[in-house]
């Protein structure tokens, strides 16, 4: 039983981290319900009015609609582009495949700021920046490679014999895609789309660099609200942050129903 | 007749190399990545050699390294990114190690550890400012424990580091856990039957299999930490101690409208990041990469 102290240390450190985290989140949630809170343990009184004011003042309904539109557009387009690419990459070995793989890996490996600034420059040149199309285009840059990278191993594990058998039975290419592959791909596509959705809603840098006043998503308008505070009470920013986290939490709960986070990399059955 | 045969054989020869009609599926993806990633990147690269004020093509880069305020950003960014990524990876190992196998409440604990992903930088920043601030809960307890003055943990290096750990740890943990669950547990059981102690099993079986996965985890965590922007502005001291490269790039490009200089800084950012990742990945090639677990 030599390992005991190490075990306690691990759990102890984790508990300390969690305690601080609870304090951090708790402070924001408490403040968002506070009448006023200056230098005391707890606020003087509680109210829910900041949520209403934030909702009206920051036009959160419009912002949420924009966020939703951008996220859905990014998911649909990235799946439409990414899945066929992943299929070809999973099924064929061809000259130049390595190069293509690297090209699809780079946008995920690069910090968004590094390609975001040149991308914003290009989008400004073509007068796309500031519009919804620009925001969608910018968010697609990491989204499509993400779909390709998650779908390629998924397609690799689908037995090629199934396709061969379908062809033997007289199915044409369209039929193979719609009636054989599509049903098998649905779980993978669903998982990839939900992850892309979560990433897009949370993506700050690219949206920040390319959005105009009418194409801001929730993260960006939250950042703008925080950096231009001062005139408005702190509680409004906090209640908006709580709304953001609430919607992200909702998305994550949905995502966790479809994706097992511990099996993102390898699929190995745990021993019973 | 011969022409038909030749055409057929060319198609056949191409198909043997893997070139057939399936590759048409690649076209949208390839066009997309060239149009929205390669082209802007190359455009930025050539723009960075066309300084706004004219002069030699390397003027932007010369300015960057001769201006101490700008050159310093490289070290500031590395000083934040490397410790944050290293901490996130190292801290996930023991926790992921305890989370293997089945036990009651595993799903709940995993969810709890993943939840910080949803917080977003602004809530984290607001929370850090409120919780670790001079009159926050943390400092109230700290003072009650007998400290002379409140700990300064916000609007400086520490605030940003904490923020990077909070947002980066869940991600590193998830990756580490999935790499660790990919290692075949029968290997360790075999070693145990042969009389290997817990420590021996960890050092000679689990670690070598896990190390390549950890290298990838470190790289991805580093990328996340390296691009720190919003938290460096909100909980840091963006004009001084936490004036990171992304702030410098953003400010020159979109505030001062000097896209050429901004692109130059972005290119240098990419370069610094690629160097770090390259070093880690080269070290990774020296590791064992077998069939079981730890692949990636």
Query: Looking at A4-13, A108-117, B202-211, which range is the least confident one?
Result: A4-13
Q: In this complex, do B174 and A262 lie within 8 Å of one another by their Cβ atoms? A: yes
pLDDT at residue A175 is higher than 80? yes
The domain covering A62-259 belongs, at the CATH homologous superfamily level, to MetI-like (1.10.3720.10)
Cα–Cα distance for residue pair A70/A254, rounded to 1 Å? 19
pLDDT at residue A141 is higher than 70? yes
pLDDT at residue B117 is higher than 80? no
Q: Is the ipTM of this complex over 0.90?
A: no
The confidence score (pLDDT) of residue A81 equals 94
- Cα end-to-end span (Å), chain B: 50
The confidence score (pLDDT) of residue B296 equals 40
Mean pLDDT, range A34-42, rounded to an integer: 76
Cα–Cα distance for residue pair A22/B130, rounded to 1 Å? 12
Torsion from C-alpha of B151, B157, B162, B164, nearest 10 degrees? 170
Q: In this complex, do A94 and B18 lie within 8 Å of one another by their Cβ atoms? A: yes
Closest-CA distance of chain A to residue B181, Å: 7
The confidence score (pLDDT) of residue A42 equals 80
Interface test mutation site (partner B, options A114, A139, A191, max chain B beta carbons within 10 A): A114
Domain chopping of chain A, boundaries:
62-259
Domain limits for position B186:
68-285
Cα–Cα distance for residue pair A255/A245, rounded to 1 Å? 15
Cα–Cα distance for residue pair A152/A188, rounded to 1 Å? 10
Q: Taking CB atoms and an 8 Å cut-off, how many pairs form between chains A and B? A: 271
Q: Does B161 touch chain A (CB under 8 A)?
A: no
Closest-CA distance of chain A to residue B169, Å: 11
Q: In this complex, do B17 and A18 lie within 8 Å of one another by their Cβ atoms? A: no
Distances from the Cα of B251 to the Cα of A101, A113, B246, angstroms: 33, 12, 8
Q: Does B83 touch chain A (CB under 8 A)?
A: no
Over residues A178-203, the pLDDT tens digits come to 888 888 888 888 888 888 888 888 88
Q: What counts of helices (H) and strands (E) characterise chain A?
A: 12, 0
DSSP bridge partners of B72? none
Give this prediction's pTM. 0.83
Residue closest to A223 by CA, chosen among A206, A209, A204 = A204
Mean pLDDT, range A171-175, rounded to an integer: 83
CB neighbours of residue A47 within 10 Å: 14
CB neighbours of residue B194 within 10 Å: 9
Cα–Cα distance for residue pair B43/B34, rounded to 1 Å? 12
CB neighbours of residue A15 within 10 Å: 10
Identify the DSSP state of A263.
G
Residue B61 falls inside a structural domain: no
Mean pLDDT, range B55-73, rounded to an integer: 88
Q: In this complex, do B40 and A264 lie within 8 Å of one another by their Cβ atoms? A: no
Cα–Cα distance for residue pair B125/B239, rounded to 1 Å? 17
Confidence of residue A254 (pLDDT cuts 50, 70, 90): confident
Residues 144..183 of A with a Cβ closer than 8 Å to B: which?
Answer: 144-145, 148
| Burial call B60-79: b when 16+ CB within 10 Å, e when fewer | bbebbeeeeebeebbebbbe
pLDDT at residue A262 is higher than 80? no
pLDDT at residue B295 is higher than 50? no
Query: Of B23, B98, B123, which has the smallest distance from its Cβ to A241's Cβ?
Result: B123
Percent of chain B at pLDDT above 70? 94
8 Å CB contact between A86 and A152: yes
pLDDT at residue B160 is higher than 50? yes
Confidence of residue A271 (pLDDT cuts 50, 70, 90): very low
Helix (H, G, I), strand (E, B) or coil at A83: helix
Residues 117..146 of A with a Cβ closer than 8 Å to B: which?
Answer: 117-122, 137-138, 140-141, 144-145
pLDDT at residue A205 is higher than 90? no
Mean pLDDT, range B229-255, rounded to an integer: 87
Q: In this complex, do B120 and A241 lie within 8 Å of one another by their Cβ atoms? A: yes
Here the tokens at position A188 are: 């993978």
Q: Does B26 touch chain A (CB under 8 A)?
A: yes
Alpha carbon of residue A192 to chain centroid: 10
Q: In this complex, do A219 and B111 lie within 8 Å of one another by their Cβ atoms? A: no
The confidence score (pLDDT) of residue A272 equals 32
Residues 75..114 of A with a Cβ closer than 8 Å to B: which?
Answer: 80-82, 84-85, 87-89, 91-95, 97, 100, 103-104, 106-107, 109-114
Helix (H, G, I), strand (E, B) or coil at A46: strand
Here the tokens at position B82 are: 């490397």
Residue closest to B247 by CA, chosen among A205, A13, A31, A62 = A205
Residues 31..50 of B with a Cβ closer than 8 Å to A: which?
Answer: 32-34, 36-41, 43-45, 47
Residues of B in contact with A138 (CB under 8 A): 36
pLDDT at residue A255 is higher than 90? no
Q: In this complex, do B229 and A227 lie within 8 Å of one another by their Cβ atoms? A: no
**Residue B144's domain is classified under what CATH number?**
1.10.3720.10
Q: In this complex, do B259 and A121 lie within 8 Å of one another by their Cβ atoms? A: yes
Identify the DSSP state of A181.
I
Mean pLDDT, range A127-146, rounded to an integer: 91
Query: Of A198, A265, A270, which has the smallest distance from its Cβ to B102's Cβ?
Result: A270
Query: Looking at A27-36, A259-268, B1-10, B173-182, which range is the least confident one?
Result: A259-268
Cα–Cα distance for residue pair A198/A251, rounded to 1 Å? 7
Residues 180..209 of B with a Cβ closer than 8 Å to A: which?
Answer: 181-182, 184-186, 198
The confidence score (pLDDT) of residue B54 equals 76
The confidence score (pLDDT) of residue A270 equals 39
Cα–Cα distance for residue pair B6/A65, rounded to 1 Å? 58
Closest-CA distance of chain A to residue B260, Å: 9
Average pLDDT of every residue of chain B: 85
**Residue in A closest to B112 by C-alpha:** A18
Q: Does A201 touch chain B (CB under 8 A)?
A: no
Longest dimension (CA), chain B: 97
pLDDT at residue A267 is higher than 60? no
Confidence of residue B7 (pLDDT cuts 50, 70, 90): low
The contacts of residue A237 (CB under 8 Å, 6+ apart) are A54, A222, A225, A226, A229, B122, B126
Residue B52 falls inside a structural domain: no
Cα–Cα distance for residue pair B293/B7, rounded to 1 Å? 46
Q: In this complex, do B127 and A82 lie within 8 Å of one another by their Cβ atoms? A: no
Domain count across chain B: 1
Here the tokens at position B203 are: 């050092």
8 Å CB contact between A163 and A174: no
The confidence score (pLDDT) of residue A94 equals 84
Residues 41..80 of A with a Cβ closer than 8 Å to B: which?
Answer: 41, 80
Confidence of residue B39 (pLDDT cuts 50, 70, 90): very high
The confidence score (pLDDT) of residue A67 equals 92
């Amino acid at each position: 039983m030599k390992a005991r102290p190490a075990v306690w240390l691990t759990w102890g450190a984790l508990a300390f981290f969690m305690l601080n985290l609870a304090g951090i989140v708790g402070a924001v949630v408490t403040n968002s319900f506070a009448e006023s809170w200056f230098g005391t343990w707890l606020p003087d009184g509680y109210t829910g009015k900041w949520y209403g004011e934030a909702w009206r003042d920051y036009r959160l309904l419009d912002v949420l609609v924009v966020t939703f539109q951008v996220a859905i557009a990014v998911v649909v387009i990235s799946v439409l582009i990414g899945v066929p690419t992943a299929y070809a990459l999973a099924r064929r070995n061809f000259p130049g495949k390595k190069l293509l793989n690297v090209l699809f890996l780079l946008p995920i490996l690069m910090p968004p700021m590094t390609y975001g600034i040149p991308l914003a420059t290009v989008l400004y040149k073509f007068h796309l920046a500031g519009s919804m199309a620009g925001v969608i285009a910018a968010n697609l840059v990491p989204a499509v490679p993400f779909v390709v990278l998650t779908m390629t191993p998924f397609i690799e594990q689908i037995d090629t014999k199934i396709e061969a058998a379908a062809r033997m039975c007289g199915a044409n290419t369209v039929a193979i895609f719609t009636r054989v592959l599509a049903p098998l791909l649905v779980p993978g596509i669903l998982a990839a789309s939900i992850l892309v959705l979560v990433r897009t809603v949370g993506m700050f840098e690219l949206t920040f660099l390319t959005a105009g006043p009418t194409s801001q998503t929730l993260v960006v308008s939250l950042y703008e609200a925080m950096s231009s505070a001062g005139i408005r009470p702190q509680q409004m920013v906090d209640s908006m942050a709580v709304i953001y986290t609430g919607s992200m939490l909702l998305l994550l709960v949905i995502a966790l129903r479809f994706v097992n986070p511990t099996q993102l990399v390898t699929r190995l059955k745990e021993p019973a | 007749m011969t022409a038909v045969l030749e055409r057929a054989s060319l198609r056949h020869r191409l198909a043997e190399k893997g070139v057939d009609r399936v590759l048409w599926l690649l076209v949208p993806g390839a066009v997309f990545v060239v149009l929205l990633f390669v082209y802007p990147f190359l455009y930025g690269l050539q723009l960075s050699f066309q300084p706004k004020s004219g002069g030699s093509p390397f003027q932007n880069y010369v300015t960057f390294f001769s201006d101490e305020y700008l050159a310093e950003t490289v070290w500031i960014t590395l000083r934040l990114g490397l410790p944050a990524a290293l901490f996130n990876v190292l801290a996930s190992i023991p926790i992921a190690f305890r989370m293997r196998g089945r036990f009651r409440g595993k799903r709940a604990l995993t969810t709890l550890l993943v939840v910080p992903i949803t917080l977003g930088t602004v809530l984290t920043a607001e929370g850090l400012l409120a919780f670790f601030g001079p009159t926050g809960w943390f400092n109230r307890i700290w003072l009650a424990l007998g400290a002379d003055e409140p700990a300064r943990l916000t609007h400086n290096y520490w605030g940003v580091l904490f923020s990077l750990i909070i947002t980066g740890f869940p991600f590193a943990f998830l990756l580490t856990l999935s790499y660790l669950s990919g290692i075949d547990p029968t290997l360790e059981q075999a070693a145990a039957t042969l009389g290997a102690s817990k420590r021996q099993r960890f050092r000679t079986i689990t670690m070598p299999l896990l190390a390549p996965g950890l290298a990838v985890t470190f790289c991805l965590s580093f990328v996340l930490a390296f691009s720190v922007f919003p938290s460096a502005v909100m909980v840091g001291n963006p004009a001084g101690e936490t004036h990171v490269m992304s702030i410098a790039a953003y400010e020159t490009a979109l505030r001062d409208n000097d896209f050429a200089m901004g692109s130059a800084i972005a290119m240098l950012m990419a370069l610094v990041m690629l160097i770090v990742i390259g070093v880690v990945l080269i070290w990774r090639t020296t590791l064992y990469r077998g069939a079981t677990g730890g692949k990636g």
